[in-house]
Amino acid sequence: MIVGCINEKTAKGCIRAIKKAARHGASLVELRIDHLDTLDASSLQQIIRASPLPVIATLRRKGNGGLFKGKEGKRIEILKAAINAGAKYVDIELDSSENEQCEIRALANATACRVIVSQHDFRSTPSSRTLLSWLDKGSRVGDIVKIATKADDIEDCARILNLLGTARKRGIPLVAFAMGEKGKFTRVVSLLCGSLWTYCATTKSVAPGQISIRDVRESMRLLK
């Protein structure tokens, strides 16, 4: 599956971008709430209820590569509003507190929303041992684990792709790929190695090495 990343500043802009992602063949969209100018329940309802595709609600903190600078309690409150508005998936970082993870998990369970536990490293790709520890910890909290790291060479890419094989053997739903120019190809190849989906740019890239929905679809066609 292909996820179209939505990072517009207004509700109307997000709705336009979501419809564009649908036309280009996205299977679902990630709403980057931290890019919105207005962070309130009304805006989230307007966007999510207008979406023809399932929505992943993501509110990324500054320290995790996002734009949100508010208090953690406020962030959790906004994510809860997105779940109540009808988001089918919610993304919460692995380094969030246990209480915050439990709050999100409880509401998600009550509303048939699936929890994605994500871990990013924008500087490097750690050892296989560290990657496995992230996989194990994430699988105990969420329904899906997401791991994205920066690749400096082919060995880094190999560790990420090998992790997908391990997750498949253990029955853990995983989204994993390498960021940056050196890891760009893994955004496509990861789908062939068992990643549930890949994240693609709809209007402008939100992560290093992110490519468009059309480019991913064309690459998959050629590989097949």
Please list the active-site residues.
120, 146
E strands present in 137-192: 144-150, 174-179
What amino acid occupies position 134? Answer: W
Helices and strands, number each (H, E), in the chain: 8, 8
Residue whose entry in the numeric block shows the structure tokens 């109540």: 84
Contacts of 148 (CB under 8 A, 6+ apart): 118, 119, 120, 121, 176, 177, 178, 179, 207
> Could you tell me if 175 and 195 are in contact, meaning their C-beta atoms sit under 8 angstroms apart?
yes
Backbone torsions φ then ψ of 188, nearest 5 degrees:
-100, -50
Calculate Rg over the CA atoms of the chain: 16
